[in-house]
Amino acid sequence: MLARPCRLTTILLCLISAVVALTGCGAPAGDAPPPAAADNCGRAVHLDAPPERAVGYFQHPVELMLALGLQDSIVATVYPDNPPLPRYAEAYQAIPQLSDKDASFEQILSTAPDFVYGGYGSAFDDTAGRSRQAFDDAGIATYLNPEYCATGPITMDHVYTEITTIADLFGVPQRADGLIREMRAAVEAGHAAVDGVEPARVFVYDSGEDTAFTAGRQGIGDQIIRLAGGTNVFSDVEDTFADVSWEQVVQRDPEVIVIYDYFGTPSIEDKKAFLRSRPELADVAAIRDDRFAVLTLQDAVLGVRAPYAVETLARQLHPDRFA
């Protein structure tokens, strides 16, 4: 019984080799973009040609590729967090979805990919058989969103660098500049609207009951809060996300609770009801004044939504500045 998965994997690898061989034929050598390389999370990524059969594992890699006009180079998506952005919805929904949760190594191989772009570290979960080395051994290049191997806080500059890197790897470097200019303008406009305000104390509630899963200082959510006229009450936590106690939340007395909304967790209203129901939070300013704000999870990760999330959040923290 143990031999069957091995045979299946072998067959899939043969199919991948056939697809790669076929796509390599017929293209004039003079038209081929130059090889591309990137240093990514401690691994060197070398591509002899732009990917033609990419898998976007998690949503933000897919939306970033779509923002660069790469929809014809994406063969599958895996594990979305939120509905797609309206501007990319038609293209996103036209791409086959392998799974609305995690996909197996064999499922990914079945698409004959030449590139797997992971959004969270769990895309390349060794215990699930999806390590980057396993893909390497199968002749498939991988790339991980650097928010999940960062040694310091992620900022908007990392978003712009990510766009440039992916554009280079796909042989379309000219597409990055206009997108980055638009994003910089969005960040500047959102931040300018709240310039000089007294920062609101913000607690991010992602999920959790016995403890609260919140945003630390390493993720881009921390900078979004600052640019939007707030201060993250857990900005001293050296992690992208972390569990904290409700006692810690009470001690830091946030004025606004920002709820991260995404598939697989309770609705926004259910999260609000849960927070209001906890007796220890009754005297916290945000609960007492019923001040909640909402971002999608995709707004708060290193991807194309983050620059626009500055104004989205600023409007909720300081509505008077947008009256």
| Domain final position from 144, 165, 189 | 144
Question: Is the domain of 189 the same as that of 316?
Answer: yes
CATH number at residue 300: 3.40.50.1980
3-class DSSP assignment, residue 197: coil
Q: In this structure, is residue 264 part of a structural domain? A: yes
Q: In this structure, is residue 4 part of a structural domain? A: no
Q: In this structure, is residue 15 part of a structural domain? A: no
Taking phi first (over 0 means left), then psi (-120 to 50 degrees means alpha), and beta for anything else, what does residue 264 get?
left
**pLDDT tens readout for residues 182-220:** 999 999 999 999 999 999 999 999 999 999 999 999 999
Query: What's the token pair of residue 31?
Result: 């038209």
Question: Is the domain of 230 the same as that of 119?
Answer: no
Query: What domain range is 241 assigned to?
Result: 181-322
Question: Is the domain of 137 the same as that of 206?
Answer: no
| Type of residue at 233 | V
**pLDDT tens readout for residues 139-153:** 999 999 999 898 899
Question: Is the domain of 196 the same as that of 76?
Answer: no
| Angle, CA of 231, 236 and 242, to the nearest 5° | 100
pLDDT at 32: 59
Q: In this structure, is residue 219 part of a structural domain? A: yes
| Domain final position from 98, 122, 144 | 144
Q: In this structure, is residue 149 part of a structural domain? A: no
Task: Spell 49-88 as b/e; 16+ CB within 10 A means b.
Answer: bbbbbbbbbbbbbbbbbbbbebeebbbbbbbbbbebbeeb
Beta bridge mates, 261: 296
Q: In this structure, is residue 159 part of a structural domain? A: no
Number of structural domains the chain divides into: 2
| Domain final position from 144, 165, 193 | 144
Beta bridge mates, 117: 56, 143
Rg (CA), the chain: 21
pLDDT at 250: 98
Query: What's the token pair of residue 321?
Result: 């500045």
pLDDT at 14: 44
**pLDDT tens readout for residues 6-16:** 344 444 444 44
- Alpha carbon distance 207, 217 (integer Å): 17
Query: What's the token pair of residue 252?
Result: 């830091």
pLDDT at 35: 85
Mean pLDDT by 10 residues, the chain (323 residues): 39 43 41 79 95 98 98 98 97 98 98 98 97 98 94 96 98 98 98 98 98 97 98 96 98 98 98 98 98 98 98 98 94
Question: Is the domain of 138 the same as that of 214?
Answer: no
